[in-house]
Each structure stands twice: as structure tokens, then as C-alpha cells.
Chains A and B, each alone.
Chain A
Amino acid sequence: MPAEGLLAASWLLIALPLAGAAVLLLGGRRTDRWGHLLGTATVVAAFVLAVACTVQLAGLDQRSADVELFTFIRSGELDVTAGLLYDPLSAIFALLITGVGSLIHVYSIGYMAHDPARRRFFAYLNLFVAAMLLLVLGNSFVALYVGWEGVGLASYLLIAFWYTRPAAATAAKKAFIMNRVGDVGLAIAIFVMFAQLGTTSYAGVFGSVGTLAGGTITAIGLLLLLGACGKSGQFPLQAWLPDAMEGPTPVSALIHAATMVTAGVYLIARSAPIYDLAPTARAVVLAIGAGTLLIGAIAGCAYDDIKKVLAYSTVSQIGYMFLAVGLGPAGYVAGLAHLLAHGFFKAGLFLGAGSVMHAMNDSVDMRRFGALWKKLPVTFATFGLGYLALIGFPFLSGYFTKDAIIEAALDRGDVWGWVLGGVAVLGAGLTAFYMTRLMLMTFFGRARWEDGVHPHEAPTVMTAPMVVLAVGSVGAGALLVSVFPLSGWLEPVFGEPAEAAHVVAPAVIGLVVTVVMLLGVLAAWLFVGRREVPVTAPVRVSPVTRAARNALYADTVNESLFMRPGQWLTRALVWLDNRGVDGAVNGLAAGLGGTSSRLARTQTGFVRSYAMGMLGGAVLVAGALLAVTAG
């Protein structure tokens, strides 16, 4: 139904941060002094507006509001109206983006205080928030695509924020290019929708998708999935995400943990009516989710770079979410609950990591940390709570949301349910292992600091957001599952949750998962906590460790499967271009030039030959006319 009241102004959600970005980018140095404050203010204002909109939405009968804005593209059959859709699904994303976004903006004021380009940083962050809100609030796949590309751009700009570092520039390019691979899938999916259905709006597509042939729906589902894999760092496009940690830590927290990388989950959840009709595509979602969950968790065990461990953890946790949304109606709510909870604790963990780096002269090598809990009490406390939430410690966020996913998997009731459930439980154990390893290496044990490092707690402007996120990490799960159930809130989008017959009682699952988690913690203590941590990584390690250190050779696979053949292809094309195309073009040019020189010889400068030429022309003209009339 058409939006009224505040909801009609929900376009301001996007316009505010966009205006902030515009002012900061166009204003130049003049805005240096207050730019970060403006950037933060726009996002906080957007958050307040999002809260108000959501409250109003909760009071509506339909719980869905359309906001018509303007005609975006009208070309022949294609008629795209720019409009927004504020419904429960977009509402939770809007709250997450603006809420976590506000906290991270505040944190960045402190984190980037000494960076000369702080204004530019806030401009890009604002740009990101605007694009991300467009992505989740748009009412059509085209609007989503515009936002999708917008966040890709912002991500590129922010990963390469310190563009003078070759590593950052390379990582940004890698992220951008790998995302292109996914984006092509999304774009083609939209083309297919338009070609087959003549519309790209959610309402139009979902209303008529049932009329399509099964193969077409599956194709659309798989193409959408390709897009989702690119943006969310899922197998086989996961390799860019850990490299993206070259960006400033608040970026890692906001974009590469809490919001942008979950866009793939949003896309698949939003496209639920398509996947409902494409069981094959949905099965592929499941497989990718389960596979990525393990790949991320295994790689996370081997890295010594604190941000990379967290990044692989993100890859793994998004794998959980894909697994959940791949389960269909039973899993949507569980997946989205995990997404929200993850948004809190992973953002908190990244901000904590940023605080640790802040204290350790921007070092990320955990082998040179240790014994920081005394020096950084607030960071330790908030990071610790985030850690417990992530590994699923009973009654913290992760416990509720991860268990819900495992339950939903087992509730399938078939062999695959057991396999997927088993993978998810195994993943929980691995998660406990690598996160405990991270905690032990960073906060406990002997201090292995480099010379001249004097750890100190971060300023309040940084610790305050960490505290807020820590509170969220603790409470969000319980809140979303029991107190204020997400399943009820999302009912208008996904329908009434079916009361599944539990294959295994939830209490049993909770117990098993907790035991596995504790085993992981114990293993970490046995392997890492008990012994001295060497300051350089051991070289003689088992093949398993070596594989994990290389992220299961994801880059190697990518290089040999895509990059090398791509290079061969471009080389072949360059050769063809030089020899074939250029040869033809140059030959043509030489031919024309030669003809020109020869023709120019007729231009003798003598009037007599000019007159002769005219006479010849006249004879030809007269002859031709006579021939036409006679014939």
C-alpha cells in the first residue's frame, strides 16, 4: 500500500548520507574541520528516521509501504519507476545499516583522528551507507542493482583508502574484479526477468514468476546466486574478502563484516518467491553455504593476522546464513536472525581488533601480541563478549541464532539434513578453536611485543561504540529469538512459520553444540594456550596446516581456473588485434592513402585537363541518363 506519514519520507534515509557524501566530496578542504561531524550526523539522523519509520510500520495492518519516487528509465518496453519498498525485511536491514553504521562512524572519529584524509574517509563511508540503503530499500531489482554497484564502488574506494600502499591498491582491484564476476550474474538475471516477464519490480516479478518454465526459474536463481556469492564472499568467489582487510578497520567492521557482505543473504531472502519455485537453485545455495562455512573456518585456524582470522570467520558465518536461507521457509528467519546478531558481534570484534592495532602501532601480527588484557581492559571485556557470542556460548547471541540454523537443517528430516547439521556443528567446533586461538594469542600468555610498543587503551569515542556493540552481542540473540521474535515480525514477507516436527529436541541440539564448542576451546588451549607462541610462524608444519594457511589454495584455484586462461585469452586477442585487426586497418589506411596519391595526380593544375575531365563527366552523365530512359 502507498506510504503515508513518515514512511513517505523514507527516501530521506538515502538522501541524507548521500547529501553528506556530496558536501564532503565537493566541499573539499573547506570541510576538513567539521566534515567527520557532518558525516556522522547524517547517519545518526538516518538511524533516528529508520527507527521512527519502523515504529510506524509496526502499527500498519499490511506492514508494507510503497514509496513512488520518479520514472527512472523509460525506453520502449522497459519502464522502471524508481521507488522504495519499506517492509519488515528492508526495515531490519535499514536499522542494522544505520545503527551499526552510526556506531562505526562515531568510532571512526577517533580511529581516523590522525589521518590527513579523514574527510574523504567519511565521505566514502556516507556514500556507502546511502548505496547500501538504496540496495535494501529499492522496490525493484534495478534499484537493488544500482545500490549493489554503489556499495561495490564504495567498498573499492575504501579498501584502497590508503592507495599509496601497493597491497591496498591490489586488494581493492581484486575485490572489484571478483565482484564484477558476480555482478554479471546479477545483471543477466535481471535481463532474463525483463525479457521473460517484462518487469523488474519485486511485485511484478514475484507475481508472475510462476508462469515461467522451470528451467528459466532455475537459471534466474543460479544467476542471482552468482551475484550473491560475489558480494558475500562465498565459494568460489571468497578470496577477495580477506584481502579487503587492507582497508581501515572501521571499513572492515561496517562493510566487510556487518552490512555489505550480507547483501547476498538479503538478495536470496528477498528472492524467496523465485527460490520457492527453483529447488535445484536452492540446493546449490545450501551446498555453497555448507562448503564455504567449512572453508572459512579451516582457513581461520591458520592465519596469524588478527583481521584475516576475523575475515575468514566472516566468510564462514555468512556460509551459515547461506545454509539457512538455502533451507527455504524453515531457515529464512534463522538466517536473518544470525545475520543481525553477527552484525553486532562481528562489528564489535573488528572494532576491538582496531583498538588492539591502535595500541600496537598498527601491527596485525598476533604472534607479536600477548598479555594485552591488563593493558586494554575495556577492549578485552568487549572483545571477550563478542568472542563468546560468536562461538555460541550458552545464552549469548550466537548460541540462539546458530542453534536455530542447525535445528532448521536437522528438521529437513532426510540424510542431507543430517549432513548439513553435522557440517554446521563441526563448523561450530572449528569456530570455537580459531577464536579461542585468537583470544589466547592476543590477550593472554607472555607479552611478545615489538620494541617501542606501549599499549594503551583507546579514547572514549572509540570504546563507547565497542561497549554498545558488546551489549548487543550479548542480548541480540535472546531478544530476536525469544523476547521479540523475528519470525513474527517477518511474517508478512515469508508467511507464517510452519511448526516443524523436531527431529531432535532443541535442548539436545543445544547441549551437543555446546559440548562441541567446548571441545574446540579445549583443543585451542591444548595447541596454543599451553605452550609458548613462537614469534615467527613455524615453517615445518603438516600439509593440513599448510593448506589452511593458503586458504585451501583458493587463490591458486582462481588463478589457474580463471586468471591464467583469461590472460591467455587476452594475449591471443592482443596478438589477433595486432596482426589481424591492426593489419587490416593499417592495410586499409595505406591502401586509401595510395589511392589518394594516385588520384591526386589527376589534379594537374592545367585547365585543359580539368575541362577534359568535365567533358568526360558530361558525356557519362548524358550517356547514363539516356541509358536509363531507353532501358
Chain B
Amino acid sequence: MIEAPDLSYAALAPLLFVLGAACVGVLVEAFVPRDARQPVQVALALVGTVGALVTTLLLSGTHETTAGGALAVDGPALFLQATIAGLGALSILLFAERGLDPARSAFVASAAVPAGSPRDRELLTATRVQTEVYPLASFAIGGMMLFVAANDLLVMFVALEVLSLPLYLICGLARRRRLLSQEAAVKYFLLGAFASAFFLYGLALVYGATGSIRLRDIREAGLDGGGDTLLVLGLGLLIVGLLFKASVAPFHTWTPDVYQGAPTPVTAFMAACTKVAAFGAILRLLYVAFGTAEWTWRPLVYAVAIVSMVVGAVLGLTQTDLKRMLAYSSVAHAGFLLTGVLGLGAGGEGSGLAGTMIYLLVYGLTTIGVFAVLTLVRDGDGEASHLSQWAGLAARSPLTAAVMTLFLLALAGIPLTAGFTGKFAVFRAAIEQGAWPLVVVALLASAVAAFFYLRVIVLMYFSEPVADGPTVGVPGVPTTVVLAITATATVALGVLPGAVLDLAGQAARFVG
């Protein structure tokens, strides 16, 4: 006989908010007339995400497990849930932009119509929108928030699927260049399924070795120096599954193709929120379940961090498409984040957790900002993401160029931007744990990566504008709000990071 576990509804409120909004969204699709769906869905998704954000903030200070120990409601979970909810809300705003595309949305009118068919061409200029993206995104956000709170490998796996499946779908919903978008979705799905299989197999091995799927039980069953092959293999496969989601090299190969093919607001969403969720899970898995056996995974993370930083930075150098370039940048940033993961410290006292959380927040904000700018610059065929099209942009649109410059400088980690605060936090954590050679590599990789960020700035400011260059659209209210918030935060977190650093420092304690 199975007993129903006790649920603390208050502690689950953020999840209930966003997943509830997603469920209601499905009903809206069924019952609300088509013309009214877009505003209703946007409002609903915003209520869900902002509600989740507010409730996580109200819950701050909670330190407990619920649902029979399957879910942790602790500082890191709440901090990362708030980050995901906030970044999710900004992404929803980008989804809702109606002013930039001539057809009033970045999403396809009807996803089921084959690309290139006569019906598809008919619908190209129609202002109809596939409004399912909002509930889908809400489900994905809900899954991510569950992912970072999962205190149980099975819940973690379920959350992984809940966040992944909607993402696969919305990647294929671009209005322009539909085939590219659909190809990206299929690739993401196939490789994601492959990675999920790794994760699931790892889960099975760990269960076989320890007889439990609870993170705490796994720690107590523990690696007591004897070298339990089954458990170690399980750990390896779990990590592979998570590194895939975090687009860490060598599990990053999907990233450039998917980032390029997906609709840009979706790319922003994936790049920011998935990264937060994946690293939340990595941190919880490594710190809670395997924190006492740091010696097993430390060399691995060390090596993977170096590979990821170098691959991301070096491959980014020769990219000619901005979205692909940012994809490799995301791979390099995953490597920088792993340097923070190494800052666990004896007894978990290191500043690695706080540093990584800060990095995730600033990286998410900057990334959403930079992709939001990308949606503004367009030619007849959608977004003008080829580098050469950005030449001389500053002469035509100084404000856009200035905002883009700010975000690129932040991604490069230049002081007085949020990016510097994040990099400083993770590098300090790594150095405190004696990983200075890794930090040296990270700094060199940052220098290499700075080249391709600065190249865009140089191109915008010091090149002659191209003759039939792209137009810079006037953003509507949603995108303007997103740009204002992300740009302000990028500057504020760079100049006065104290408050958020303190917050992350206080939140950096896992339950269990």
C-alpha cells in the first residue's frame, strides 16, 4: 500500500502558479475564440511567471523538503526558481512582441501546415499566431523550476522531460526559414532523447548501487573510498545527461544548430533559462548527492570546464552568424560556470554555489538582452543575423548599437558590467579552492572570446554601412520593457553588485 506523501502547498506555490497557468492555457486554446487568444494567453503566462517570481521571493528563508523528501525548498532552489521565473517572464514578453515582424509575430501561423506548401505561403502574411507557444513555454518554465528543486533522481528526470518536450516543440515554430527551424527541432529532440537515455541509465545504475533515488540516501550510501563501480558509472551517465542540457562541450554539438534555427525569442529563452535549470540540477546533484565524494568528480569537471571554455571560445572566432556565435559563446560560458561549480569547498563552505548562482543570473539577463536586440535588426527574410549585415549599424541606429555594445561587453566580462561581477564571483570561488590553473585557462579563454564580442562592436562602429543593409525595427512595448530591464540590470549589477551578492551568499545552502 502506497501512502500519499504530505505536500506543503505553500512551499510549492511557485510551481503551482506557473504549471497552473500552463494548464489553464491549454483550456484557453480549446475554449477562447481565436482572435482573443493572444492577449489572454500572454496575460496568463505573465501571471504564472510573475506570480511564481513573487511567491519565491515571499518564500525566501524557507529551508525544508516536501512531498516526502522528493522536493527541496531551500535557498538555492528558491534563488534559481526566482531567476528562472523572472527570465521566463522576460522571454514571454519577447514571445508577445507584435510590432517587429510584418506578420505581427515571430511564430508560425499554423505549425501543422507543411513548409513551402501553397497553404503555407498563404499563411505567411496572415496575422494569425500559433498561441500554443505560451502554455508550452509555461510548462517548460514549470519543468525548469521543478528541475532545480528536485531532491530525488526520479523527480529530476520527470522535470527534465517536462522542460525538454515543450522546448523541442517551440523550437520548430519559427515563422521564417521554417525548414531550418524544423530541422533544429528534430535535431534537438533526437539528441535530447539520447541524452535523456544516458540520464535514465545513470539513474538506474545509481539505484542499483545504493537502493535509493533520494539524493540524501545516495550520499549516505556513499562512495566510501572502496570505489563502487556501479555508482561511479551511474554518476558519470547522470552528469552526461545534465551537461548536455547545459550545452557543455563535448556535449554541445546541438547548440549552434538549434540556436540558429529556433525563433530568436525561443533561443533567448533556451539560452537563459535552460542554462539556469541545468546548472541548478548539476549543483544539487554534485553538492548534495556526491558532495562528500568530491574527489571523484572534481578532475572530470576540471577537464570538461577547460574543454568547454576552449571549444566555445575558439569555435566562436570563425562564426559569421550572430546566433551561432552566441551559441558558442554559451558553450564557453558553460565552461566558466563549471569553474564556479568547482568551488564547493570543504564541507560545502566554499563560495562556489553563490558564485555560480550569481553568474547564472547575470548571464541569463545579458543573454535575453542580446537576443532581444537581435530581434530588432531585420531584413526581408526575418532577422538579419549575418555579421556582415551589422556593419556600420551605429551610424544608422546609435541607440541599438549602444545597447548591443553594453550586452556584448557584459558577455565579455568587462568591469562595470554585470558580466564582470559574475566572472569575478566564479573565478574567486575556484581560486579559493586552489583551482588557479583552471582560472588561468578561463582568463585566456575570456580573452579569446572577447575578440568575437568586440569584433561585432568594431563592425557596428567602425565599418562603412552596407548598401542594402537591414532595417532596425522600432520595438513594441514588450521588447522595450525587456531591453530596459536587462540593460538596467546589466549596468546595475556591474556597478553595485553588493545587494545581489549578499542575497546569493545567504541563499547558498542546500537542504538535505
Contacts and interface: CB of A to CB of B under 8 A. Distances in A.
Contacts of A602: 253
B187 A622 contact: no
Interface in A611-631: 611, 613-614, 616-618, 620-622, 624-626, 628-630
Contact of A618 (B232, B237, B303): B237
Residue of B190, B195, B236, B257 with most chain A CB atoms under a 10 A cut-off: B236
B256 A603 contact: yes
A618 B227 contact: no
Contacts of B251: 614, 617
Nearest to A620: B250
A618 B253 contact: no
B233 interface: yes
Contact of A597 (B237, B239, B297, B318): B318
B235 A625 contact: yes
A67 B296 CA distance: 64
Contacts of B233: 622, 625-626
Contacts of A616: 250
A613 B318 contact: no
Interface residues of B, number: 40
B296 A614 contact: no
Interface in B238-262: 239-240, 244, 250-251, 253-254, 256-257
A592 B227 contact: no
A626 B314 CA distance: 30
B236 A621 contact: yes
B240 A607 contact: no
B195 A614 contact: yes
B154 interface: no
A625 B314 contact: no
A595 interface: yes
A610 interface: yes
Contact of A600 (B240, B295, B304, B318): B318
Contacts of A617: 240, 250-251
B498 interface: no
Nearest to B235: A625
Contact of A607 (B191, B223, B239, B318): B191
Contacts of B229: 626, 629
Contact of B314 (A595, A613, A620, A622): A595
Contact of A611 (B191, B239, B240, B311): B191
Contacts of A614: 191, 194-195, 240, 244, 250-251, 253
- Mostly, the B contact residues are helix
B314 A618 contact: no
B202 to A, nearest CB: 9
Interface residues of A, number: 29
Contacts of B300: 621, 624-625, 628
A584 to B, nearest CB: 14
Contacts of B198: 618
Nearest to A618: B240
A602 B314 CA distance: 13
A625 B233 CA distance: 7
B223 A599 contact: no
B191 A592 contact: no
A605 B257 CA distance: 7
B256 A596 contact: no
A628 B290 CA distance: 14
Contacts of B54: none
Contacts of A605: 257
A624 B303 contact: yes
Contact of B299 (A589, A603, A628): A628
A629 B232 contact: yes
B448 interface: yes
A442 to B, nearest CB: 57
Contacts of B194: 611, 614
Contacts of B451: 589
A609 B190 CA distance: 12
A593 B187 contact: no
Contacts of A624: 236, 299-300, 303
A618 B236 contact: yes
Nearest to B228: A629
Contacts of B318: 593, 596-597, 600
A597 B237 CA distance: 30
B239 A621 contact: yes
Contacts of A613: 250, 253
Interface string B315-333: 1111000000000000000
B317 A596 contact: yes
A625 B297 contact: yes
A589 B454 CA distance: 14
Interface in A554-612: 589, 592-593, 595-597, 599-600, 602-603, 605, 607, 609-611
Interface of B: 186-187, 190-191, 194-195, 198, 223, 227-229, 232-233, 235-237, 239-240, 244, 250-251, 253-254, 256-257, 295-297, 299-300, 303-304, 311, 314-318, 448, 451
22 contacts: A597-B318, A599-B314, A600-B318, A603-B253, A607-B191, A610-B254, A614-B191, A617-B240, A617-B250, A617-B251, A621-B236, A621-B239, A622-B233, A622-B237, A624-B236, A624-B303, A625-B235, A626-B229, A626-B232, A628-B296, A628-B299, A629-B296
Closest CB pairs A-B (n = 8): A617-B250, A610-B253, A622-B236, A629-B227, A596-B318, A596-B317, A625-B236, A618-B240
